[in-house]
Amino acid sequence: MGDIVARTPCARQLLLFSATWPDRAAELSHIHCRSNAAVLHVGTTGIAACRSVVQHIEVVHPLAKVAHLLQALNQAAPQLAEGMKALVFCNSTTTVDELVAALRDAGQAAIGIHGGQLEVQRCETISRFR
């Protein structure tokens, strides 16, 4: 970001947006913005989970993850049948595609979203998930 800002005119307006505001983003804002810059925070500024979301953490052997997920989805079948939804995060685009295929092979409805897809695909997926 420093290289980009260095190539812009001195008389500029700089706007920074972030869904999260990690320490590195704050550092960059202090370096490249005036001291009297306006800062707008929407929602909480700390890391917090939604109080209505129940989180369960289970450590599972990597080779057993899909089977364990399928078991959890089967246990949640009554809630899913009532319109509730499950959201699963993966650490790579390949894993997303592989997991979606595995879930569909097991008869589960599944859609995936990742940065390797076209924006129109990602928007469609978000729309279908809602």
| 56 or 92, which is more confident | 92
Is the same domain home to 74 and 120?
yes
Q: Which string of DSSP letters, residue by residue, matches 98-117?
A: HHHHHHHHTT-------TTS
Is the same domain home to 66 and 115?
yes
Count of structural domains, the chain: 2
> Average pLDDT over the chain, rounded to whole?
85
Is the same domain home to 122 and 84?
yes
* Domain membership of residue 48 as a residue range: 1-55
> Do 46 and 23 contact (CB within 8 A), yes or no?
no
- 103-125 pLDDT, tens per residue? 999 999 899 999 998 999 999 99
Amino acid identity of residue 44, one-letter, is T
Is the same domain home to 40 and 3?
yes
Amino acid identity of residue 14, one-letter, is L
Is the same domain home to 48 and 67?
no
- Its pTM stands at 0.59
Is the same domain home to 9 and 33?
yes
Is the same domain home to 47 and 83?
no
Q: Tell me the mean pLDDT in the region 32-44.
A: 75
Is the same domain home to 67 and 123?
yes
pLDDT at 49: 65
Phi, psi of 90 (to 5 degrees): -125, 165
Is the same domain home to 120 and 87?
yes
Q: Which string of DSSP letters, residue by residue, matches 53-113?
A: ---------GGGHHHHHHHHHHHTHHHHHTT-------SSHHHHHHHHHHHHHTT------
Closest CA to 18 of 5, 6, 1, 34: 1
